[in-house]
Chains A and B, each alone.
Chain A
């Protein structure tokens, strides 16, 4: 792997696509989950949540995300 330099971020090519069906993808995702769990609190407390539709589920996620952003902002101001 070499270091490539660019004069502007717009010149940077997009990252190469991942290799389809690479079992390592799961390992990388697992690492990302573990890393992100150290960076930010989880959106939901452990447990089971029931929704009447995928839209209700998405709304709950969106609400929890906004709440987390607000709480993180408050906590980091202190």
Chain B
């Protein structure tokens, strides 16, 4: 998990409209992602989330479920800046479910290099809260 929900989970609570996940780009893993989504949503469009897209020309896929569930942004890379192997993450137990959350340092590195003002604000707050500096990765 990355993005605003991950930032919130580290204690910097802010509103966000979606859930961002960064997934390992291989066919088995994307199949597991589809299975997990099918377990939550009765939605045939989930099958349109494919490894050929996520591992190929479309590293960013947005899934908007029916009903009140949050949209999900599913990423396999961020340009040339971040790939799955670059992510530092920690595992937490949330209501009995293991959840992998990007570390504050990884979130800071991701967010300081994007163009969105909200990401810059997140980066500044992460830097202040966790004593993160400007050193290169």
Q: Which residues of A contact B (CB under 8 A)?
A: 17-23, 25-26, 28-29, 32-34, 36-37, 42-58, 60
Contacts and interface: CB of A to CB of B under 8 A. Distances in A.
B13 A42 contact: no
Contacts of A54: 59-60, 75, 78-79, 114
B95 A18 contact: no
A55 to B, nearest CB: 7
A33 B61 contact: no
Contacts of B129: 17
Interface residues of B, number: 41
A52 B75 contact: no
Given A29-B8, A34-B68, A54-B114, A23 B94 contact: yes
B60 A42 contact: no
A54 B62 CA distance: 10
A21 B60 contact: no
Interface of B: 5, 8-13, 15-17, 43, 45-46, 48-49, 53, 57-66, 68, 70-71, 73, 75, 78-79, 92-95, 114-116, 129
A17 B64 contact: no
Given A17-B12, A29-B16, A52 B57 contact: yes
Contacts of A43: 17, 71
B45 A57 contact: no
Given A48-B63, A50-B58, A53-B59, 12 more contacts: A21-B92, A23-B92, A25-B9, A42-B71, A44-B62, A46-B45, A46-B66, A48-B46, A48-B49, A50-B60, A52-B59, A57-B60
Given A18-B8, A36-B17, A42-B71, A47 B94 contact: no
A26 B94 contact: yes
A58 B114 CA distance: 10
B13 A28 contact: yes
Contact of A25 (B13, B63, B65): B13
Given A21-B92, A54-B114, A32 B15 contact: yes
